[in-house]
Amino acid sequence: MSPIGFTFRTIRLLTSRSRFIASISICQSTNLHFYSTKVNSLAMKGIRVEEFGDPSVLNYVTDLEIPKPTGSQVLVRIKAVGINPVETYIRSGTYARKPDLPYTPGTDSAGIVESVGNTVAVLKPGQRVYTTASLTGTYAEYCLVEENHVYPLPENITFEQGACLSIPYYTAHRAIFLKGGAKPGQNIFIHGASGAVGLAACQMAAANGLKVFGTAGTEEGIKIVKQNGAIECFNHRKENYMEDLMKATGGRGFNIIVEMLANVNLVADTTVLTDDGIILIVGNRGSLEFNPRCLMPKELAIRGIALAHGSLVSKFLN
């Protein structure tokens, strides 16, 4: 198994009247591939969004201008793209921050340095890299990135794996270790473990000596979660799965819960925590009725998780 150990599902480009059609599965790390050649013209293929809406607004175009790096900028020839849920929210126009239209989506990618600006000293053309942000969007054959958001990609990590390193792994690390204070030997429950962040959380927690338990919504998801470090994984679509989780810990419960759907699961989470346990909210899609008194007997804590500014991301990645 490779160091990352992900199972990948590839999205292929299908065009119908110049429309981009894709079915994105969040249950696995998902990547969009562009196969490109050296820059030999001024145009490239890519995805362009001219209005907010459903996936039909993703236009596959062949005449995008290839950007030119200046100063501290790096031009990356894209080999694989990590697709994150937040990008679907931005595309739909429901996210708090909206890009100016038209735009090309995407931040996480892996590829090869094509060219660099005149102040870039470390990165060189031909170098394998992955990105954590983009100035021009990564759903294209090439993207322009500031130097401090481009990192060398080791030879033993594939482009597909490299494209998944940024948002999934930084989010998981920030939740479990920086905010959750996880320690070896503790029980950790990844509530919704078959997505990219969930799998990253399983891997990182297991690698650091925690006892990992998870849930998924399909048998395929359960299998993948176990392959990525979980001792046990249960189907959260079945009744009484929380009782099964408690039994799996011998009735002890969990020191830490990483929660992917807080508006549905938060109340139930409080019933399976140990004394001084903590719930780390990574995902939420609505509101709920919640009685804070349920936190008091065990002195439980709830903490929200969000990606920090670039300097902290860089500190983690370095």
* pLDDT tens digits for range 197-235: 999 999 999 999 999 999 999 999 999 999 999 999 999
pTM over cut 0.75? yes
Q: Name the superfamily (CATH) of residues 8-163.
A: Medium-chain alcohol dehydrogenases, catalytic domain (3.90.180.10)
- The domain 167-310 is placed in CATH, from the list 3.60.15.10, 3.40.50.720, 3.30.450.40, 2.40.50.140, at 3.40.50.720
* pLDDT tens digits for range 5-47: 333 333 332 222 222 222 222 333 344 444 444 454 689 999 9
* pLDDT tens digits for range 271-282: 999 999 999 999
Helix (H, G, I), strand (E, B) or coil at 270: helix
DSSP letter, residue 295? G
CB 143 within 8 A of CB 76: yes
Give the residue range(s) of CATH 3.40.50.720 domains in the chain: 167-310
Give the residue range(s) of CATH 3.90.180.10 domains in the chain: 8-163
pLDDT higher than 90, residue 77: yes
CB 291 within 8 A of CB 315: no
CB 231 within 8 A of CB 250: no
